[in-house]
Amino acid sequence: MVELSPEVKAQLEEQKKQCVFCKILNGEIAAKKVYEDKVMIGVLDINPAAKGHMLLLPKEHYPILPFMPPANFVHMFGLMPNLINALRNAMVCSGARVFIANGGAAGQQSSHFLVHMIPGDKGDGFNYFSFDKLGLVDDNKFKQFNQVMENNLPVMMRKHFQQMPNNWFKGKPGNADFLADIKMKQQVLYEDEKVLCVAHDNALTVGHYVVYSNEERSDIEKLDVESSAHMFYVASYCANAVFQGLGAHATNIIMKTGTCSDNAEGRLCIHVLPRYGNDGLDLLWKPMENKGNLDDIASRIRDQMFEVEHSQKEVRKVETLDLDAKELHKISDSKDVDVKTESAKDEIEEALKKYRGE
């Protein structure tokens, strides 16, 4: 676990007292619960972007994703295929999105880190994550930072593999046919057996990156625990790197799976975006006007989640890897890369300041 200074600990305690989601977790505030295990709960969003929009809340209060210890990270994101599968079955839809905001400038609205899961369908009109507009990106700055990432990401991933050993990494990039067009058009920043990470060709901003799976073109449901967690790990390292390297105020991590309005090609992908106050990017949805019957929706999702709650043997095996989370923060300390370096503790305090908008 990350070591926090007494000041940061005190700030976190203050945050927890005010936190609506901690109050939901301890039963002080009612919510429509649809899922629970020992690490997290799922509740319906009361202002849904789409029918079945739910929130995954870690039971611990973490202000942003980098505070989450590796065991819980692997648990939450390793289960994503099962959770998305259950949600899609409940809502009978062709796709889904996962939205994560680290920091206010990215649209984080509570001090409790959480994950939005938003069902999606072909032609559902939800186009907030299309990323098809040409960004006003300075080409030179874009390329310059891509180079920093191309040097840095493999170093970060090597350290990650030292900390969390596995039996699949041999350093041989996957060669998925369905990614050939992407590899041809876009700058590759990192690849291994399981993932491909590229600079987005329609970047909204410098540091807009995309992680694809080398194993599956469309549906996260087809990935196993390790592959799903790994995709999110690479996205999370990217987010930390752009946060520090570009001095961003916040970051978004947005996964799309299956076919939706904003994913017409139905590609499984995770976008990473650095965010700044007033950056003009509009990624926040308007709540639905006709929410439908929330009790009915909750009960449908709960029925499908039952099996996920009761089939977690495989996840527990991975969970025993309780490793030093400091590395999650110390992502840019390699000497050959021109990225700001700070100690893990400073980074956390810095993140908290940015998070509070100071």
Amino acid at 238: C
Tell me if 64 contacts Zn ion by CB under 5 A: no
Q: Which two tokens stand for residue 219?
A: 């549906």
* Least gap, CB of 29 to Zn ion (angstroms): 11
Return the residue nearest Zn ion (CB atom): 19
Return the number of the residue (4 or 19) whose C-beta is nearest Zn ion.
19
Can you tell me which of 21, 126, 129, 131 binds Zn ion, judged by CB under 5 A? 21
Return the number of the residue (112 or 302) whose C-beta is nearest Zn ion.
112
User: Roughly what angle, to the nearest 10 degrees, separates helices 70-78 and 80-91?
Assistant: 30
Interaction residues for Zn ion, span 100-119 (CB under 5 A): 112
* Least gap, CB of 75 to Zn ion (angstroms): 18
* Least gap, CB of 112 to Zn ion (angstroms): 3
Contact, 241 vs 149, CB < 8 A? yes
Interaction residues for Zn ion, span 307-346 (CB under 5 A): none
* Least gap, CB of 216 to Zn ion (angstroms): 34
* Residues whose CB is less than 8 angstroms from the CB of residue 345 and which lie 6 or more positions away in sequence, other chains included: 3, 4, 5, 8
> What burial letters (b/e) apply to 183-210, b meaning 16+ CB within 10 Å?
beebbbbbbbbbbbbbbbeebbbbbbbb
**CA distances for 6 relative to 11, 18, 272, 343, 346, angstroms:** 9, 19, 32, 16, 13
Contact, 243 vs 251, CB < 8 A? yes
| Distance between CA atoms of residues 112 and 43, nearest Å | 14
Return the number of the residue (21 or 126) whose C-beta is nearest Zn ion.
21
Return the number of the residue (195 or 351) whose C-beta is nearest Zn ion.
351
Tell me if 61 contacts Zn ion by CB under 5 A: yes
* Least gap, CB of 207 to Zn ion (angstroms): 29
Tell me if 22 contacts Zn ion by CB under 5 A: yes
Can you tell me which of 1, 12, 19, 155 binds Zn ion, judged by CB under 5 A? 19
Dihedral sign, CA of 77, 82, 87, 88? positive
Return the number of the residue (22 or 211) whose C-beta is nearest Zn ion.
22
Return the number of the residue (112 or 194) whose C-beta is nearest Zn ion.
112
Which of 214, 234, 208 lies closest to 154, judged by CA? 234
Return the number of the residue (143 or 356) whose C-beta is nearest Zn ion.
356
* Least gap, CB of 68 to Zn ion (angstroms): 13
User: Roughly what angle, to the nearest 10 degrees, separates helices 6-18 and 344-356?
Assistant: 30
* Least gap, CB of 122 to Zn ion (angstroms): 36
Footprint of Zn ion on this chain (CB under 5 A)? Answer: 19, 21-22, 61, 112
